[in-house]
Amino acid sequence: MTIQQNEIQDAELKALLFRLELELMDPDVRKDREKVSALLAEEFREFGSSGRAWSRAAILDLLATEPWQSAPVVEEFEMQRIAMDAALVTYRTVRSQQATLRSSIWMLREGLWQMVFHQGTRMRG
């Protein structure tokens, strides 16, 4: 495989993971337990911007009742392939003038990309 082919595959993967991250921010998707379950791996863990650690089950319960009305603005989205079946994405979200740095690890499982880890860190000032 040539470097050019890797770059094309990486660009396609970056676009796919960007779309999946946006789906997880969509208020309608977030309330749909089945859709979110398909995107989060069984062993999913999150370290939230609140400082709290979340399990997959706790996140599914939280999102079902969350009052979000609109998705945040996403900036500086980057993707780094960790292995052929794993990738790290990093980006910043802005909502109500509060910026948060975010990172997610995605893994390819049975032909589907699923998030296994997510962390949010609020930016100061």
- Rounded CA-CA distance 54/56 in Å is 7
What are the boundaries of each domain within the chain?
3-122
Q: What SS3 class is residue 6?
A: helix
Nearest Cα residue to 82 out of 103, 110, 101: 103
Supply the CATH classification number for the domain 3-122: 3.10.450.50
Classify residue 51 by its DSSP letter.
S
Q: Tell me the pLDDT tens digit for each residue of 48-98.
A: 888 899 999 999 999 888 887 788 899 999 999 999 999 999 999 998 888
Mean per-residue pLDDT over the chain, rounded:
90
Structure tokens at 103: 């990172």
Evaluate if residue 27 carries a pLDDT over 60.
Answer: yes
